[in-house]
Amino acid sequence: MAIRSPIRVLPPEVTRLIAAGEVISRPLDVVRELIDNALDAGATRIEIELEDGGLGLIRVRDNGVGIPADDVPLAPQRHSTSKLDSVEGVDQIGTLGFRGEALWSIAWAGNLTLVTRPPAQVGALCLSAQGEERHLSRVTAPAGTSVTVRRLFSRLPARLRTQQPQASEVREITGLVGRYALHYPALHWKLVSNGEVRLQHARSDARGAVASVYGPLVANRLLSVRSEHISGVVSRPELTRPRRDRMHLAVNGRPVVFPAELQKAVIAGYAELLPAGQAPLCVLDLHLPAEDVNPNVHPAKAEVALAELSRLADLVRDAVREALSTHPLARTAPALRAAQPPGASAHFPELRLIGVYRDTYLLAEGEGDLWLLDSHAAHERVWYERLDRAFGEGEPVELTEPELLHLTPEQTARLAECSEELQAMGFMFEAFGAGLARLRALPAVLLGLPAPRLAESVLEAALAGDDPRRAVLARLACSPALKAGMVTAELGERVLGELAACATPYACPHGRPTVVRLSERDLAHAFGRRGPRDLPRGRDLYEKPLSLDPNELPSH
């Protein structure tokens, strides 16, 4: 039987620890709060240093305006801030920080050391804070502020035990700093973890920031967006990905979670230019009146409430559409039916090749209908299953000349996270300095495979998703597969036979259909024919016509 405890008021030392945990729950929170403070201070150079995933040390240095000596003792006190001074100010927040809880929470979560000096001040002040303990001293330091946090959560063992692995935390902090760099490209950024540079960006424009974070090839495929209240860049239609993790938004300089309605507006701006299930890269900044934005709706300030969201969605859609206006619209899809297996035990239909169209598409007859096969997608499926069977057989082959690869900061962090899984697949990568990795061995099945940039393609695919094996096989299957213009009747016959033997013949490894069907009934209707065979039969009973909207069709 439960025994009810009496209601009691918690002692101050307990409430402080609870409140500190609401603001600082992981090293990433510390980094975000300190970056916000640096940006509010007008810094043009921000450097972040980590040790042990941020649990051992976090240091953020900036060249901002600094804190005057008389204000330094107030800095770590709760709800002390220079950014808000009245009730009216809550509805007119124009800074990234405003609650006055960051330094106070950090001092209770770890050991805080703050060194600061305004440019016009002689000598700097050093503040050490740990819980309620405070210590001030005079030091020599350059203009700006340096905040160091050591032994994070050392006094909170339960919080410390629930932290995620250091490699994962560093990867997410790298992504966070990269987001700030994307939205503040005119600043100098540098992130170092355990002595290794994970991200570095010199002052430039939005395209340069994308190059620092995602690489120059991506940066070269961007279009500028400029309209009322909106600025930034979007990718060209050919640069898409199945996830929306490279869609970034900042509101009045604050990087926030992209509202779903505004994400849909960006995608709607592409209309038929964007395949279904694909998302572009975009870095957009909304510049709105302070009274139309409420940043005080999320503990980590990662979300904001926006007035007239529907109107903003229209503005975003129109701005993206305008940026893409020089690109021709994609062609509409034919009224075909996506073929699919009629049952778990059903086999691929027996097809007879009747022709090859434009040296690319196979025309076949089967089950009384006309079938069209994309020879590349079909051959990809054949190669995927062939490689899948052979993958992992034999010992990895050590390369006589290891290949050196350049990695983005996030790829470097991801490689450290999944290196064991890659090694189990037969790939042996080793770190080789900042932003570099070396491939020392690969699976024997890949020797002689006609795949250009083999090592680079494998690493890029393995690090991009949650299933490295599948991603690598899909990428490798693409290279030896038949290309447009290569198909002959003889090769077409061979592909038909090999596809029929596949375990999953109806889709290529990337999810595109390998085969579509033109129903005899639909063909008859197109010519206005009616007759005894007009009733739906066979596959017509469960296969629906493909959408006429290319935006709903899967893509490579």
CA distance 507 to 529: 32
d(CA 206, CA 212): 10
Distance CA 384, CA 470 (A): 9
Beta-carbon contacts of 164 under 8 Å, excluding residues fewer than 6 positions away, are 26
Question: Which of 9, 10, 2, 59 lies closest to 30, judged by CA?
Answer: 59
Closest listed residue to residue 392, CA positions, set 349, 347, 443, 433: 443
Specify which residues 3 forms β-bridges with.
none
Q: Is the pLDDT of residue 318 over 80?
A: yes
What pLDDT does 459 receive? 78
H/E segment holding residue 310: helix 309-323
Q: Are 84 and 100 in contact (CB under 8 A)?
A: yes
Per-residue pLDDT for 84 more than 60?
Answer: no
Helices (H) then strands (E): counts for the chain: 15, 25
Nearest to 410 by CA among 453, 452, 457, 459: 459
Supply the pLDDT for residue 439.
84
Torsion of CA 130, 135, 137, 140, to 10 degrees: 10
Residue 15: how many other CB atoms lie within 10 Å: 11
Cβ-contact 353, 267 below 8 angstroms? no
pTM above 0.85, yes or no: no
pLDDT (0 to 100) of residue 548: 37
Least confident of 105-109, 139-143, 286-290, 444-448: 444-448
Question: Pick from 27, 13, 17, 91: which is nearest to 55 by CA?
Answer: 27
Whole-angstrom Cα distance, residue 384 to residue 468?
14
**Domains located in the chain, CATH noted:** 12-82+98-199 (3.30.565.10), 221-326 (3.30.230.10), 337-517 (3.30.1370.100)
pLDDT at 75 over 90: no
Structure tokens given for 387 = 């490689």
Sign of CA pseudo-dihedral 209, 214, 217, 220: negative
408: helix, coil or strand?
coil
Does the pLDDT value for residue 263 go beyond 60?
yes
Confidence of residue 155 (pLDDT cuts 50, 70, 90): confident
SS3 label, residue 117: strand
